[in-house]
Amino acid sequence: MENNTAIKTINIGTRGSKLALWQAHAVADKLQAAGLDTEIVIISTKGDQILDRSLDKIGSKGVFTEELEVGLRDGSIDIAVHSAKDVQSSIPEDLELVAFMEREQVNDVILSFNPDFKLERDSKVVIGTSSTRRKALLRKYYPNVTTAESRGNLQTRLQKLKDGQFDALMLAYAGVFRMGYDDLIVHTFPEDEFIPAAGQGSVAVECARNLEPELKQQLKDALDHAETHVCLVAERAFLRTMEGGCSIPSFALATLTAEGKVSIQGGLVSLDGQQHLYDKFEGDQAEAESLGVKLAETILGRGGDQILKDIRAERGE
């Protein structure tokens, strides 16, 4: 009897932006190398459709994932491919994250068409970004910078930059590099100052929990990067405990030390950049999840709970 999982076509659900499609094709390439047939299915999400409001105004839970998750439930797709930083902090019980792909460089960067652009502490420039975290950290470290809302895919944002809507763009290096725009990078933020959002730089693969176990294992074997996975377990535990999606200014970065330990640093910054909470913990890989929880509980206990309360009150939540 033939092994059906070996001949099944894996329907890969993805958003339709060029970067999302790059990620989906990266997944498809690995699955095909493992002997699986693939087909890419483009699904539009709320985050793609509503571009005239900032993310915190349209709700942070599942903005870029909800419609893809519907496809997982109705069987129109077998897996959903996401930027890991866009995945909501808690996954519905009937779904699971089966793989985290090898992480790209995690830094935030500045893009400009002016090669002489310099970002200094007293710079009075307008920087386009749609990230609450980036806006808050800019206010902390570059208090004279003005931020401007910059929604849309990378190509749309670059067109706005070309049109003079801002002097520069602030983005994740990973997406810029994957789209081939790294020649426009004029500034790279140190990752220990501008700590990235949980998951930044990795691609997450989601499936239904009841997917055939053998197929699920094939997906994991083909796509999952063990070192990245353990780091994202820690970061996502932090995010889940903070009860924050991509619209709160939290940050977390886990790495593996030379001795194979997990080291996680992270925290929270107030919207005005005036309050900045930070800590760092280290432990065995088996403790990755508990380290993320410990970091979040420490930050919340030092006043992070009040910062989040203030943010939600300001937004009328």
Q: Is 124 exposed, middle or buried (0-12, 13-18, 19+ CB in 10 A)?
A: exposed
Place of tokens 């994991």: 220
The span from the CA of 275 to the CA of 32, in Å, is 48
86 is catalytic: yes
The span from the CA of 175 to the CA of 105, in Å, is 10
Residue 5's contacts (CB-CB under 8 Å, 6 or more residues apart) are 212, 214, 215, 218
- Choose the catalytic residue: 48, 56, 78, 86: 86
Q: Write the DSSP string, 205-232.
A: EEEETTS-HHHHHHHHHHH--HHHHHHH
Residue 183's contacts (CB-CB under 8 Å, 6 or more residues apart) are none
Catalytic residues: 86
